[in-house]
Amino acid sequence: MPNEQAVTRPVSQFEALRVPTHIGVIMDGNGRWAKQRGRPRTEGHRQGILALKRLVRLCNKYGVPYVTVFSFSSENWTRPKTEIEFIFNLLHKFVEADLNELHQNNVRVRVLGERNGLDVALQRTIAKVEATTARNSGLKLNVAFNYGGKNEIVEATRSIAADVKAGRLDLSQVSEELIEQRLYTAGMPAPDLLIRTGGEQRISNFLIWQNAYAELVFLDTWWPDFDEEDFVEALQIFSERERRFGGLSEASA
């Protein structure tokens, strides 16, 4: 006899989770994690890379199609030079050292952000990792690096204006879809869940266009401590939210 309960009630918490299509992650709190332990901020960034690797594995495990992580903002240039260099070296090493593993796991890696002005060796590594994984059909991992949301919109505007000026585009063709095609995330679905660790409740110039309708989840966990429990907590909060997109809720419709 079929077990009625099994039909009407999710068998496990895991099955009750609604899995987002695209998760954006503001990986914040590395410095405070380190400070709390009396260690240099750089140690927090080093541990943050391990948390990033955990996140990639979790997205694979739970079947999340897209994840975009904020790893260095265009505003982070105001930090001390030594910290900036340390972060750059760490991220460079991460993409280089983990390329094989990411590739074997069928992960497609893309780097979103301004590349001009970056170290030439780093630019080469970025090009290599993107080319190597370009045909992978698994998790799409976007690393927002030297990224700023306002600047992304400025660049899109410039490219559209140039096309209009040259007569390749008519003003009437400028639309939301066209702007989206000129963003770094062209062709990807917008994030439906944005997670920020570290306790701050702000966007900090991250995917400001794309996050227009994302569900925002703020966790107090410092990024280096981020683990499966936090990930599942964020998915649970997301699963309980009702996304209305300006319409009416099911209850009041």
The residue from 42, 71, 185, 221 that contacts ligand IPE (CB under 6 A) is 71
The residue from 20, 23, 24, 29 that contacts ligand IPE (CB under 6 A) is 29
| Interior/surface letters 68-92, b for 16+ CB within 10 angstroms, e for the rest | bbbbbbbebeeeeeeeeebbbebbb
β-strand pairing of 66-73 with 22-26 = parallel
| 87: partner contacted, choices ligand IPE, Mg ion, none (Cβ within 5-8 A by kind) | ligand IPE
Q: Residue 55's closest CA among 26, 29, 31?
A: 26
- Shortest spacing between CB 112 and ligand IPE, in angstroms: 12
- Shortest spacing between CB 74 and ligand IPE, in angstroms: 10
Q: How far apart are CA 73 and CA 99, in angstroms?
A: 23
Q: Which alpha helices (DSSP H) does 98-168 contain, by range?
A: 99-104, 120-133, 149-165
The residue from 24, 25, 27, 28 that contacts Mg ion (CB under 5 A) is 28
Residue 87, interface with ligand IPE (CB under 6 A)?
A: yes
| Active-site choice (3, 30, 60, 76) | 76
- Shortest spacing between CB 31 and Mg ion, in angstroms: 6
β-strand pairing of 215-218 with 66-73 = unpaired
Binding site for Mg ion (CB under 5 A): 28
Binding site for ligand IPE (CB under 6 A): 26-32, 70-73, 76, 87, 198, 200, 202, 204
